[in-house]
Amino acid sequence: ASPWDFQTYQDDQNAGVVLHNSEARTGLETEIIVSLDAEHNYFTVIPRIFNPNAEPVSYKFWINGMFTLGAPTLTPGIEFVLPTDSVTVHSTGDPTLPQPDETMSWSVFNGRDLSRYDNWTNYLGVFAAPQATQNFMGAYNHSTNLGVARVFPANLIPGAKIFGVGDLDPALWTNDG
């Protein structure tokens, strides 16, 4: 919604970019560090929010990553790792599932293992319910042997959401299909 400033850095052991934004409405300062070190084959994303105001500020902070895990589109073989027994539906195009704001069991609902993207018929977004209790979540593509993990302190950052685009038109989030 607004332009971000950035700085890159690189030395013999690390490379990365520091993104910075000052939110016009609240004055909150956001910094996101994306880094890669010489010892590992993954990158790290560290978000930080600073409140320079004298009073508390109410906010919601979302980090959305869209991953196909080595394939041009979401493919059979993708497994979502969301360590919880129940989820709250955010949105879905599947009429056989509970509707938004309703809770359902996870990962098996009515005999369907929804942790496996192969078992989805339409788009679906869910939150861990009532909140994340474990310090991780992720996804793994069994076809490409690639995965992604989010590691976080669930007692401080209780939000955990997954979303699969299913049958949604890519024009909703891209300008080239």
pLDDT in tens, 29-47: 999 999 999 999 888 899 9
User: What is the 3-state composition of the chain as percent helix, strand, coil, each rounded to the nearest 5?
Assistant: 5, 40, 55
- Residue 1: what pLDDT? 66
Q: How far apart are CA 62 and CA 64, in angstroms?
A: 6
Nearest to 123 by CA among 81, 172, 50, 77: 172
Higher pLDDT, 29 or 69: 29
The token duo for 42 is 């993954």
What's the whole-number mean pLDDT along residues 76-85? 92
What's the whole-number mean pLDDT along residues 96-119? 96
Count of C-beta atoms within a 10 Å radius of residue 127: 21
What's the whole-number mean pLDDT along residues 127-136? 92
Confidence of residue 162 (pLDDT cuts 50, 70, 90): very high
Checking if the pLDDT of 174 tops 90, the result is: no
Nearest to 139 by CA among 174, 122, 114, 159: 114
- Residue 50: what pLDDT? 95
Q: Quick one: CA torsion of 130, 95, 147, 141, rounded to 10 degrees?
A: 150
Instruction: Quote the percentage of the chain above a pLDDT of 90.
Output: 62
- Does the pTM of the predicted model rise above 0.85? no
Which range is most confident: 23-32, 102-111, 146-155? 102-111
Contact 41, 32 (CB under 8 A): no
